[in-house]
Structure 1
Amino acid sequence: MTDAYVALEGGHVVEARGRAPGTARGELVFTTAYTGYEESLTDPSYEEQVLTFAYPLIGNYGVRPERFESDRVHPRAVVARELTDDVADWLTAEGVPAVDHLDTRDLVTDIREGGAMKCGIAVGDDVTPEDALAELEECKTMSEHTDIGAQVSVDEPEVYNQTGDGATVALVDCGAKKSIIDSLTERDATVHVLPYDTTPEEVTALAPDILFISNGPGDPANFEAAVSLVESFTGELPIAGICLGQQIVARALGGTTEKMDFGHRGVNQPVIDEATGRVVMTTQNHGYTVADPGDKLTVTQRNVNDDTPEGLDSEELSIITRQYHPEANPGPHDSLDFFDDVLDMVGASSDRRAVVADD
């Protein structure tokens, strides 16, 4: 059995079975999802994190590339109670260390009680606990990863569904999931996927109908270019955001964000709509949240468990954001109508601007 060690913040070292070799460091987080491991492992929002699966068996329906949300695995390492050979072989090929045969219930409890923590992992035939501790020593906090956008964003603009008859969307890629692009192109939108540090002039040159800020990893305070974009186009274009995108929009409009203790990660997060009282189940993956939306945005949806903002709207400014993932791969699909609401803003915003011009 290959040796494996997980060193936790504070110095405690857990022994495990190695399933994919290597060393790694990152913020240790957990997801409650019991399906969708392929989607989770290829979600750019997990960049610089070590992903622990709370569900005990990961890999029982294989590995299929058509389910991937990006072109690579993003967590720095993977922890599970038991990984199938299919997943272990995939992670080995990706160069991502993985361990199992440890008590993930205990790890999840530690994270819930103490918060997401730094960790180091060492896997190999001759590794020692000291190797894992050395990785832990070099581990940064998420806020210290000031260049994280560059790790997950496209290098050059890309366009999808160029001949679409619908809206033209400028999607700022801060770590966008493929399913967000798919959800827009399925509605006949033309989607320009832009680097995370795109300038207002580059957006203007596309003459888009809407500015869309994607999901992504890390601290929204480190995405200053995206914040500036929202500031530049507020009141000029409809604006939408998902996950990190909601936090960026809030910061641009005078709100504040904060680190959560252990975040929301999984496919069973309940969200209540303030106006209707309707509760939907949502997919989520974030460690930061909007602390105060400011006075320009209205909180329209909240998390049932902890009351954190899950939706921000401004009809006057044509802004709509969601903290969860409405594209919902692998599910549930309760919130897919968000993309209809986003594209409906294009026509509504044009009508309002026409009325103002007539006045």
Structure 2
Amino acid sequence: MYKAILVLEDGTVYEGYSQFEHAQKYVGELVFNTSMTGYQEVMTDPSYAGQIVMFTQPHVGNYGVSSRDNESEGIKAAGLVAREVSMVPSNYRSESSLTQWLGNDDVPAFWGIDTRELTRRIRDKGALLACIATGESLDPAATLSWLKAQPKYGERDFVSEVSVSEPVALRLEGQGDLEKVLTGEAGGAKHVVVVDYGVKRSIVRNLLRRGVNVTLVPNSYGVEEIERLRPDGVLLSNGPGDPQVLSAQSEKILRLTERWPTWGICLGHQLLALAFGGKTYKLKFGHRGPNQPVQYLPTGKVEMTSQNHGYAVSELPEFLELTHINLNDETIEGFRHKDKNVEAVQFHPEAGPGPHDAENFFDRFCGAI
């Protein structure tokens, strides 16, 4: 346990502790998550790329880490902040402590501060760029000067950092044969192409459990390349960053909707809205955590959902029908096209961690392809 500082772009400085002795600066947009459990799933969720996650749950790390709970290959968040971090995990599934696991990927943990006060600051001022500085020579003024020279969160393309670099075919029993997909010999099951903007493993698992074959493709993949995979449907995944950074994807997405059922989750929801002429905006401090009430307007049913987004859709054209609203702040949580097989939700129906109320999204999608 070594002294460290957390410096915010507004000049606020917090003194605490880190697991790192070496001198280093770690930058990210500071956001908070209200989950009571699931810190490992959160830290490996690609949607958190470029962000330092503060947990409002005051004590994290008590059940350790298990590789079976990862939502991607490795840690994607830029750092972790908590009131207290357990150094001695107690769970039969644990493979290492939280701080050891983070340290293996050179990701800092920062603890020993009043996270309630810091949460209120973010709620008042909005998400802030922040720096965790470690090492013996801790200079708040120099760290703040360095921090102000860093690019803003919304200016970076994080999707390119977390997307797969080449197609990956997946089957219920594991890795599939991409050549069989290309030649149409992959079996009689329906085939979904997931455009990987930062997909979570739980999304893939939910598709596989419903008996479909899945191929992940890079976000840069074109329509003709996707067509070679012979999909029955296309899913645009979740992912990090400002959707408007990916505005060049709009033409491709529109072409996808002309050829296949095309649905979206989280960032995929925002990109579909932008492609059809809708608008997005940055939320003050975002929705991050479980138990967010969302109403499904076609039936009036309320579902408790898990969410993780800092941007939202603000306007929809007339031919897109609003299907879901957030009952906390009435923000747009879902829509469908009135004439095309297109539907999207802002929340995470796979909910890892979180409630399973909204998993029917996958039933509707698989039934529509």
- Indicate the TM-score class for this superposition, using the shorter chain for normalisation: over 0.9
Per the alignment, residue 162 of structure 2 pairs with: 152
Q: How far apart, CA to CA, are the structure 2 residues paired with 1:5 and 1:29?
A: 17
TM-score normalised over the length of structure 2: 0.90
Q: How far apart, CA to CA, are the structure 2 residues paired with 1:240 and 1:3?
A: 47
Following superposition, the deviation at residue 235 of structure 1 comes to 3.1
Secondary structure of 1:337's counterpart equals: helix
Contact 1:121 1:132 in 2 (8 A): no
Contact 2:30 2:52 in 1 (8 A): yes
| Counterpart code for 2:239 | G
Secondary structure of 1:235's counterpart equals: helix
Contact 2:319 2:338 in 1 (8 A): no
**Which moved further from structure 2: 36-45 or 290-299?**
290-299
Contact 2:321 2:338 in 1 (8 A): no
Q: How far apart, CA to CA, are the structure 2 residues paired with 1:135 and 1:67?
A: 35
Following superposition, the deviation at residue 312 of structure 1 comes to 0.9
Per the alignment, residue 282 of structure 1 pairs with: 305
Following superposition, the deviation at residue 192 of structure 1 comes to 1.1
Q: How far apart, CA to CA, are the structure 2 residues paired with 1:246 and 1:332?
A: 20
1:247-271: CA deviation from partner (whole Å, max 9, x where unpaired): 0000111111111101100012111
Q: Write the mapping of 1:37-116 to structure 2, written as runs, cut at 5 A.
A: 37-85=39-87, 86-116=97-127
**Which moved further from structure 2: 260-269 or 312-321?**
312-321
Following superposition, the deviation at residue 153 of structure 1 comes to 0.3
1:311-347: CA deviation from partner (whole Å, max 9, x where unpaired): 111252011111011011122111111101001111x
The equivalent position to 2:197 in structure 1, one of 174, 192, 196, is 174
Q: How far apart, CA to CA, are the structure 2 residues paired with 1:34 and 1:272?
A: 23
1:212-243: CA deviation from partner (whole Å, max 9, x where unpaired): 10000001111235423211122321111000
Describe the shift of the 1:254–1:98 C-alpha distance in structure 2 as closer, same or farther (beyond 3 A): same
Secondary structure of 1:203's counterpart equals: helix
Per the alignment, residue 27 of structure 1 pairs with: 29
| Counterpart code for 2:133 | A
Aligned-residue sequence identity (percent) comes to: 41
Q: How far apart, CA to CA, are the structure 2 residues paired with 1:224 and 1:166?
A: 33
Secondary structure of 1:335's counterpart equals: helix
Contact 2:291 2:354 in 1 (8 A): no
Secondary structure of 2:210's counterpart equals: coil
Following superposition, the deviation at residue 132 of structure 1 comes to 3.2
1:281-322: CA deviation from partner (whole Å, max 9, x where unpaired): 111111000011222211111001111111111252011111
Per the alignment, residue 279 of structure 2 pairs with: 256
Please report the RMSD computed on the Cα atoms of aligned residues, expressed in angstroms.
1.5
Following superposition, the deviation at residue 124 of structure 1 comes to 2.3
| Counterpart code for 1:325 | H
Following superposition, the deviation at residue 38 of structure 1 comes to 0.7
Structure 1 gaps of 5+ residues are: 347-359
| Counterpart code for 2:264 | G
Per the alignment, residue 293 of structure 1 pairs with: 316
Per the alignment, residue 152 of structure 2 pairs with: 141
TM-score normalised over the length of structure 1: 0.92
| Counterpart code for 1:149 | V
Per the alignment, residue 212 of structure 1 pairs with: 235
Q: How far apart, CA to CA, are the structure 2 residues paired with 1:130 and 1:154?
A: 39
Describe the shift of the 1:229–1:300 C-alpha distance in structure 2 as closer, same or farther (beyond 3 A): same
| Counterpart code for 2:2 | T
Per the alignment, residue 92 of structure 2 pairs with: none
The equivalent position to 2:139 in structure 1, one of 128, 145, 152, is 128
Contact 1:302 1:310 in 2 (8 A): yes
Q: How far apart, CA to CA, are the structure 2 residues paired with 1:139 and 1:16?
A: 23
Q: Write the mapping of 1:310-325 to structure 2, written as runs, cut at 5 A.
A: 310-325=333-348
Per the alignment, residue 260 of structure 2 pairs with: 237
Q: How far apart, CA to CA, are the structure 2 residues paired with 1:296 and 1:84?
A: 51
Structure 2 gaps of 5+ residues are: 88-96, 177-185
Secondary structure of 1:169's counterpart equals: strand
Q: How far apart, CA to CA, are the structure 2 residues paired with 1:131 and 1:167?
A: 56
Q: How far apart, CA to CA, are the structure 1 residues paired with 2:67 and 2:248?
A: 32
Contact 1:5 1:13 in 2 (8 A): yes
Q: How far apart, CA to CA, are the structure 2 residues paired with 1:104 and 1:291?
A: 30
| Counterpart code for 2:4 | A
Following superposition, the deviation at residue 275 of structure 1 comes to 2.4
Secondary structure of 2:357's counterpart equals: coil
Secondary structure of 2:354's counterpart equals: coil
Secondary structure of 2:241's counterpart equals: coil
Contact 1:172 1:226 in 2 (8 A): no
